[in-house]
Structure 1
């Protein structure tokens, strides 16, 4: 089976290639493409792939822009970092998708599904247009403001002004860019589902970080990482070895 990968994150593309090789040594990755422009050129000249893995966000735009310029009949599995709201849009349109970070079992299942439907055509342009509209609606559902209490007042805090969410002695707190701390009466899991995954990531059980608050990363023992933020936190923000590649890919995106 011949595969083309459309992905602008080097680490994510390498991880996908590694997983595909482990699933089936007969899978041949013909090309890795990192932009809309390069994809249009490639698919205009080389339509021989059996299957395409395609990220939604590329270096120079949204991957759906490719279909405005070239017809692709090859089956596509989209990869995305979108949250549960946007995934509903994929389900409505019956388009195959994988949620990042990619896992071997999910990729294997997607390939099995492709093999079962081999010979069918890719999704039509009207469905992709509908998907774009649904994704735009989904993005609007990301939390823009948190209403927090301080003494006898309620204060609206803009989400993009929050440097990180953390658990402190069992209490979830939001720390703003100017180092103000507020109690959030929600579980960290619920907050994670409300945030734009392009801007925020849960790096361990105690922290959800805003990408803009990250100053640097230090290598730690056994493949772990320590993330330094501004404002700093009193505790070390440690990323496990198993999640380190996903965190680095997210920061580098």
Structure 2
């Protein structure tokens, strides 16, 4: 299988390449394109790619502009840090997507999904207009408050005051910057979808961390990282090698 990556961030393209090669070493990366212009130049000449990974926001514009200038029948998996409106649009239009920072398991699932399906007979650009309209709508209003049980009352806790969420023995808890812990009656996956990705990031299966809670990040063995937080957590918070680059990129936003 041959793949083209459209991504303007070097670290992100390198990480995606690493993950793709880890999942399937037989996948060939034909090229990495970093702009709308270079993509139009490349695709206007035709491509041997079986699949395209395409970031939405590029250095010189929105990647959807590519489809206004060239016709593509090659299946596309978009990568995006955008809000839920865009994600719903991808599903409606039968275009796959990966939410940044890219998760290895989700990437593998997307690749396997592509392999199990035949190529779409309908050019991708025919499905783009609705996506562009939705992307121009106002941003999603992220969760600002969690109502939690505390003794015999309910307390409103501001999301920005929560340093991190974590799951332990099936129970999800939120820990505030004042080191108070509250049970959150939700799944960690649901909480992740409600939070502003610029402020919160799920660094592993157990933790979602507020960037303001990060005290420092230390290198660990085999390319992993250890994230130290305030208030401190009793155990090591480890980031896998696959996610290490994305965590560093997120902290650099």
TM-score, with normalisation over the residues of structure 2?
A: 0.71
* Number of the residue aligned with 2:17: 17
1:45 is the counterpart of 2:41 = yes
* CA separation of 1:84 and 1:221: change in aligned 2, threshold 3 A: same
After superposition, residues 148-227 of structure 1 pair within 5 angstroms as: 148-149=148-149, 154-167=154-167, 172-176=172-176, 178-189=177-188, 190-227=190-227
For 1:169 and 1:17, locate their aligned partners in 2 and report how far apart those are by CA, in whole Å.
35
* Number of the residue aligned with 1:101: 103
Is the Cα contact below 8 Å between 1:81 and 1:101 reproduced in 2?
no
For 1:167 and 1:22, locate their aligned partners in 2 and report how far apart those are by CA, in whole Å.
27
Could you give the per-residue CA deviations for residues 186-207 of structure 1, whole angstroms, max 9, x where no partner exists? 2452323432444323334442
RMSD of Structure 2 on Structure 1 (CA)? 3.7
After superposition, residues 20-35 of structure 1 pair within 5 angstroms as: 23=24, 25=26, 27-33=28-34
* Number of the residue aligned with 1:54: 54
* Superposition deviation, residue 143 in structure 1: 2.0
Q: Which secondary structure does the structure 1 equivalent of 2:40 belong to?
A: helix
For 1:78 and 1:213, locate their aligned partners in 2 and report how far apart those are by CA, in whole Å.
30
TM-score, with normalisation over the residues of structure 1?
A: 0.71
Comparing 21-30 with 154-163, greater Cα deviation is found at 21-30
* Superposition deviation, residue 181 in structure 1: 2.1
* Superposition deviation, residue 227 in structure 1: 0.4
> What are the ranges of 5 or more consecutive residues in structure 1 without an aligned counterpart?
34-38
* Number of the residue aligned with 1:110: 114
* Superposition deviation, residue 252 in structure 1: 0.4
* Number of the residue aligned with 1:122: 124
Q: Which secondary structure does the structure 1 equivalent of 2:124 belong to?
A: coil
For 1:162 and 1:246, locate their aligned partners in 2 and report how far apart those are by CA, in whole Å.
22
* CA separation of 1:105 and 1:208: change in aligned 2, threshold 3 A: closer
Q: How many residues align?
A: 239
Is the Cα contact below 8 Å between 1:3 and 1:31 reproduced in 2?
no
Is the Cα contact below 8 Å between 2:21 and 2:27 reproduced in 1?
no
Q: Which secondary structure does the structure 2 equivalent of 1:123 belong to?
A: helix
Could you give the per-residue CA deviations for residues 173-221 of structure 1, whole angstroms, max 9, x where no partner exists? 3233x42524133245232343244432333444210233323211234
